[in-house]
A = this chain, B = another copy of it.
Amino acid sequence: MSFSPLVDRLMESFRVLPGVGPKTAQRMAMHLLERDREGGQRLAEVLGVALEQVGYCQRCRTLTEETICALCESDRRDDSVLCVVESPADLLAIEDARGYRGRYFVLHGHLSPLDGIGPEDIGLDQLDARVAEDGVEEVILATNPTVEGEATAHYIASQLGPRGVKLSRLAYGVPMGGELEYVDGGTLSRAFNGRLPFESE
């Protein structure tokens, strides 16, 4: 309660942000009102414009204000490999790792029949059409290593099977730089089962 309805509404509005509770929301509102009105005004404008203009790339479905995103437009990427991810954040993580030079396809979620999310909702018809048309030779199913992600990968694999493309999945194993002691059992079992000959790489 700030005794100003508008300030109260502002504090309440910040709670739409992930991980922001009442205390943090108050701190954010006070910070912008007291110390950075210019930055706050800029945030309000960019946020309004972005939410209005940013949609999905018609080719890969990642977030962009253009019809076709810069990644799809680029002629320096390998058209023969297509990486399927659940979210634009996954795409960013893979790009940050800098190893991959192919194209992407973003599902914006995973199959979830109980929530009424079926194949069309995650763009699988569009993915199928894209694989059929283009010179895609390999599809990397980079959905999350969760039950839902696995199920989605299996569904896509069965759908794309008849197209004759190579299908792959990210390797499972112990994370680089981690300590075995802290790796969960499921991951450890996977790493044992998928063990590689020494110096195989």
- Residues of chain A at the chain B interface (Cβ within 8 Å): 1-7, 9-10, 13-14, 16-19, 24, 26-34, 36-37, 39-54, 62-66, 69-71, 87-89, 92, 95-96, 108
Whether the Cβ atoms of B54 and A4 lie closer than 8 Å is yes
Most buried by B among A18, A39, A51: A51
Q: Which residue of B lies closest to A60 (CB)?
A: B3
A10 surroundings in chain B (CB, below 8 A): 46-47, 50, 54
Q: Known: A4-B70, A63-B2, A66-B4. Is A40-B47 also a contact (CB below 8 A)?
A: yes
Give min CB distance, A55 to chain B, whole Å.
Answer: 9
Give min CB distance, A35 to chain B, whole Å.
Answer: 9
Kindly state the separation between the CA atoms of A87 and B37 in the bound complex, as whole angstroms.
16
State the 4 A-B residue pairs at the shortest beta-carbon distance, nearest first: A16-B39, A44-B48, A44-B47, A3-B70
Most buried by B among A1, A4, A70: A4
Q: Which residue of B lies closest to A49 (CB)?
A: B6
A71 surroundings in chain B (CB, below 8 A): 3
9 contacts between A and B (CB under 8 A): A1-B96, A3-B64, A7-B54, A10-B46, A13-B43, A17-B31, A18-B28, A44-B51, A45-B48
Whether the Cβ atoms of A7 and B64 lie closer than 8 Å is yes
Q: Known: A5-B65, A43-B14, A44-B44. Is A50-B33 also a contact (CB below 8 A)?
A: yes
Kindly state the separation between the CA atoms of A26 and B91 in the bound complex, as whole angstroms.
12
Q: Which residue of B lies closest to A27 (CB)?
A: B18
Give min CB distance, A43 to chain B, whole Å.
Answer: 4
Q: Known: A6-B54, A30-B88. Is A48-B48 also a contact (CB below 8 A)?
A: yes
Kindly state the separation between the CA atoms of A75 and B24 in the bound complex, as whole angstroms.
31
Give min CB distance, A2 to chain B, whole Å.
Answer: 6
Kindly state the separation between the CA atoms of A54 and B40 in the bound complex, as whole angstroms.
13
Kindly state the separation between the CA atoms of A16 and B5 in the bound complex, as whole angstroms.
23
